Structure 1
């Protein structure tokens, strides 16, 4: 934050603000000098110089240090209202103050520059590590569906007359599944980039949450038939004012994540309700849950738990959190004592007061 301040403020404004800080400290000290003496005033002015050194560039800080020394001499060191210094003790005080103020300014700025450099290096290393993780994930996650598509197409082209209609339909289904997998990964990458750039803004409209949940469940179960998804519609969420696209992405990634990382025949329970002016969504399962030491990490970008199946970019849950926060909501995760995981989402939203059945 400190480096951002001095980079975003023009040099002229730094001079003006820095000198204003010194003048305010001097004026305040002037009214109370009878109670604290000019030696205490010297400490106050030194503190003001240190404050400017924490925020601004070196030249404005050095000017502020010199200005504070001149003010200390003229207004506080006797005889006041003159630059004359009568005693050797006061002269030594003035020279020591000027020296300490200058050294303090330079050292503070140098320390800040070193901290900024280390922070930039750490951010670069983190960015490189994230990109390496992403590339490693994509190398598998994209290669597999691409190989499936190419292999299926080659098989159809080379053996079209030999294959039965059932075999051809099966190959087309594999191509469709692989294509959807590719599309999902590309969509996740685009969404994460837009979230990071702050480009995604919610577009609020009336959404039938029950219908949306059914649509997401059908989209997932068409590709995975090994888990049981349980959802009972709730009339309390028939019409809610929010961004349906954002909510669809949240639900899809949570349900897909539960289906992908849990054993066969796992039961996934989806509950929706409206309480305290919030849309409340609970998605739980009776699977294996999450390791306790990794629960705080699962929403991080590119994070994949140890021991999970290969594939995936580790973006699903981070996208869920990003879209939830974009709707001013919050998401929490906890393990269920009897086994499994429980995601709890609360999103502030307005609900329709219209009676849909009467309108129908």
Structure 2
């Protein structure tokens, strides 16, 4: 990213701003010349030319270098208010100033151009790497359920194969699971696109967090066959003013991640609490936890832990972080001393006592 993005200004604006910087500096220096001397003014003007070289294209910078030399001569080199130079020493100084200002402008600009090209190359390499990562992940994540669906349909349509009702229902179940898996990947890609485009705008409304969590647990029921999800509703929770849709997606991705990367018969525990101004949700599992040296990277886009089973695009946790940030919340990950990992999500929000539910 170019400093302050000033090179994105039009050429006319670059000329105007660079000239104004020189003029304003000269005016301020005029009142200080009796204290610091006219030779020190030359150094100040050189600094401003260098700043212009950092910010603008080459021709506005060269103009500012020429203008600064003329202003220094006219306003500061004795005799002032004339282009005449009184002594050979001052004449040599003026010539050296002009040469140094011009060289400084060109060299500074060239250095910035080299740095910009290097940044562009790094961004290009990074973009290609991310593209290849996404392509490799999707090639597995999409091909597997598609192959399952095609294979199951071919089996069902094969008139030569006699299927029992049980086998046919199993094939239908495989198609359904593969369809849900495809839909989840498409939803993740759409969510990431919305996050990167800045289209996520939370729609806050009063919601019962216990009910939201029960909804997510119900949605993950088919995935949790060999796992245990524990949640004891907190009857003392107030009603929170939050975007329940985003909360559901955050919880779903966290639970799905725990289901995917913990062994069978693992337990996933969900807790909901509140502080004076925050809604707090914790999801803990008793799996193997995360390598300490990789905890800082698990929320990065497309990042997958080393030595994990194939599958997954590495988008789930980055989407969780993005949705959490969109709601001005924070998410923390830590390993549990007894084994496993704990995600803590906090959202600042309004709340009111949940008194009505007790009377329903």
TM bracket, shorter-chain basis: over 0.9
Matched with 2:144 is 144
Q: Size of the alignment, in residue pairs?
A: 360
SS of 1:280 mapped into structure 2: strand
Q: Could you tell me the TM-score, scaled by structure 1's length?
A: 0.96
Distance in 1 (alpha carbons) for counterparts of 2:358 and 2:253: 35
2:100 aligned with 1:100: yes
SS of 1:189 mapped into structure 2: helix
TM-fit CA distance, 1:276: 2.6
TM-fit CA distance, 1:221: 2.1
TM-fit CA distance, 1:5: 2.0
SS of 1:296 mapped into structure 2: helix
Do the aligned partners of residues 350 and 147 (structure 1) sit closer, same or farther apart at CA in structure 2, a change above 3 Å counting? same
Contact 1:266 1:285 (C-alpha < 8 Å) held by counterparts = yes
Please give the residue correspondences for 1:297-316 in structure 2 after superposition, counting only pairs within 5 Å: 297-316=297-316
Please give the residue correspondences for 1:143-162 in structure 2 after superposition, counting only pairs within 5 Å: 143-158=143-158, 162=162
Contact 2:288 2:340 (C-alpha < 8 Å) held by counterparts = yes
2:346 aligned with 1:346: yes
Matched with 1:266 is 266
TM-fit CA distance, 1:58: 1.2
Distance in 2 (alpha carbons) for counterparts of 1:328 and 1:357: 28
2:284 aligned with 1:284: yes
Contact 1:2 1:54 (C-alpha < 8 Å) held by counterparts = no
Distance in 2 (alpha carbons) for counterparts of 1:159 and 1:273: 57
Distance in 2 (alpha carbons) for counterparts of 1:171 and 1:4: 58
Q: 5+ unaligned residues in a row in structure 2: which ranges?
A: none
Do the aligned partners of residues 160 and 179 (structure 1) sit closer, same or farther apart at CA in structure 2, a change above 3 Å counting? farther
Contact 1:149 1:178 (C-alpha < 8 Å) held by counterparts = yes
Contact 1:329 1:346 (C-alpha < 8 Å) held by counterparts = yes
Distance in 2 (alpha carbons) for counterparts of 1:149 and 1:347: 40
Matched with 1:196 is 196
SS of 1:313 mapped into structure 2: coil
Contact 1:210 1:238 (C-alpha < 8 Å) held by counterparts = no
Matched with 1:26 is 26
Matched with 1:355 is 355
Contact 2:238 2:353 (C-alpha < 8 Å) held by counterparts = no
Matched with 1:234 is 234
Distance in 2 (alpha carbons) for counterparts of 1:41 and 1:8: 30
Do the aligned partners of residues 357 and 220 (structure 1) sit closer, same or farther apart at CA in structure 2, a change above 3 Å counting? closer
* Cα distance per residue 1:247-277 (max 9 Å; x no partner): 1110000000001000111111111112131
Greater shift in the superposed pair: 271-280 or 40-49: 271-280
Contact 2:237 2:354 (C-alpha < 8 Å) held by counterparts = no
Matched with 1:82 is 82
Matched with 1:293 is 293
2:11 aligned with 1:16: no
Matched with 1:256 is 256
SS of 1:106 mapped into structure 2: helix
RMSD (CA atoms):
1.5
Matched with 2:124 is 124
Contact 1:237 1:351 (C-alpha < 8 Å) held by counterparts = no
SS of 1:137 mapped into structure 2: helix
Distance in 2 (alpha carbons) for counterparts of 1:80 and 1:207: 75
Distance in 2 (alpha carbons) for counterparts of 1:2 and 1:40: 30
* Cα distance per residue 1:200-249 (max 9 Å; x no partner): 21112222211111111121122221111111112344521111111111
Distance in 1 (alpha carbons) for counterparts of 2:209 and 2:93: 74
TM-fit CA distance, 1:353: 3.9
Q: 5+ unaligned residues in a row in structure 1: which ranges?
A: none
Do the aligned partners of residues 160 and 181 (structure 1) sit closer, same or farther apart at CA in structure 2, a change above 3 Å counting? farther
Distance in 1 (alpha carbons) for counterparts of 2:266 and 2:147: 29
Contact 1:237 1:279 (C-alpha < 8 Å) held by counterparts = no
* Cα distance per residue 1:7-59 (max 9 Å; x no partner): 33222222222122112211221111111111111000100111111111111
Distance in 1 (alpha carbons) for counterparts of 2:170 and 2:197: 41
